[in-house]
Amino acid sequence: MNRYEGIAVILLIVLFSGISYYEGNTQVSRPQFNTIAASLYAPFLKTAISDAGISGSVTAMGSVAAAQRVVLSPDQYSFFLSIDPAVIQDLLYPRNISSWYVAVAGDQMVIGVSPRYSATVSSLNQSLYQAEINNNTALEEKYLSELLSTILSGKATVGTSNPNTDPEGYRALMMLQLSGLMIYNNITHYTSELSYINSTGKLYEVTSGSALFAYLESGTVDFDIAIYRSAAIEQHIPYIILPSMINLGDSNYSSFYQRSSVTIVSDGQSVTLKGAPIYLCFTIPDSSSDATQGAVLALYIISPQGKLLMKSYGITPLEMPLIFGNVSSVPAPLSYYVNSTVLDLK
């Protein structure tokens, strides 16, 4: 066992017993390592790195753009936090950069609302929420249709992110496709309306969803067509709740979600992504220069302390983190906990 593996084992005791570890009177320091994360979750990752006692940096950008950066320089990153497993599976797996990932939290899409429009949609939003609670699909369709008619009327400005750089962008399209299927059995009904808004100059597209926060607050954008609920809560953005059938946040609707799909361009190649439940997930590139420290960070994130940290950022942790793929490639000490009471093998 080398020095860092030894430190990692000690940290496991720290994480799951709640004690602090010191070497003499000085807290153990570790070399800096580089991580990359979906921009909306970069603040969480920065805090997790600090709380785990690791010296490291976080590069923040949309998950697709981040995966493309990892493809170009896989040995430079020791941890990749993505808001979509498909980014790892479809962009990293084929290039033999990684062959596994751990899902640590769930999320769902909501529609962000600017302050000047929040009163306008408040009553409809409450009615839609009540219909969702009561599992009244007919009323869900009615109120969702009225809300989307307001949002996509051409009178309001709408924001979204680029599907080729940020999963929030292609999930916005998936949500609209699923809404069309749910209400009209027509997958293109609402995406066609979004295309029309784009032709009028009232669609704002950004490379990363976090860039829309200021636009919503100022009223430059009236609606963010699809934002993660955790981000809306953390940023205090008013939002419209969406039915489970279309919010990409309920695994019970996995088969329905798969009826939506968006083709993006990554590294000059077209990749078609299908709708699926949202998971915040991570992996460590096989060629990472410091996979052990990446594994130590991973263990902190799935620890009780890490789950509490997620909740403080509005993220809903899975009761049991799930590991997918080729577990033989998972670095120690994370590998010690595969298929245990800490990390469930899928």
The pLDDT value recorded for residue 289 is 84
3-107+278-345 maps to CATH 3.40.190.10: yes
Assess whether pLDDT exceeds 50 at residue 237. yes
Architecture of domain 109-266: 3-Layer(aba) Sandwich (3.40)
For 154-172, how does the pLDDT look when each residue is reduced to its tens digit (9 = 90+)?
999 999 999 999 999 999 9
The alpha helices in the chain, defined as continuous H runs, are 3-17, 42-51, 63-72, 85-87, 115-133, 137-151, 167-184, 189-199, 212-218, 229-234, 254-257, 291-302, 304-312
| pLDDT tens digits, 10-61 | 444 444 434 333 333 344 444 468 999 998 899 999 999 999 999 999 999 9
pLDDT confidence of 220, banded at 50, 70, 90? very high
Quick one: pLDDT at residue 268? 83
What distance lies between CA 317 and its chain's CA centroid? 12
pLDDT at site 342: 85
CA distance 6 to 262: 45
| 82 three-class SS | strand
Average pLDDT over residues 235-258: 95
Domain-wise residue ranges, the chain: 3-107+278-345, 109-266
- Within this chain, domains 3-107+278-345 and 109-266 share the same CATH topology: yes
Residue 108 has pLDDT above 60, yes or no: yes
Residue 32 confidence (pLDDT): 64
Quote the mean pLDDT of the chain.
89
In this predicted structure, the answer to whether residue 339 has a pLDDT above a threshold of 90 is: no
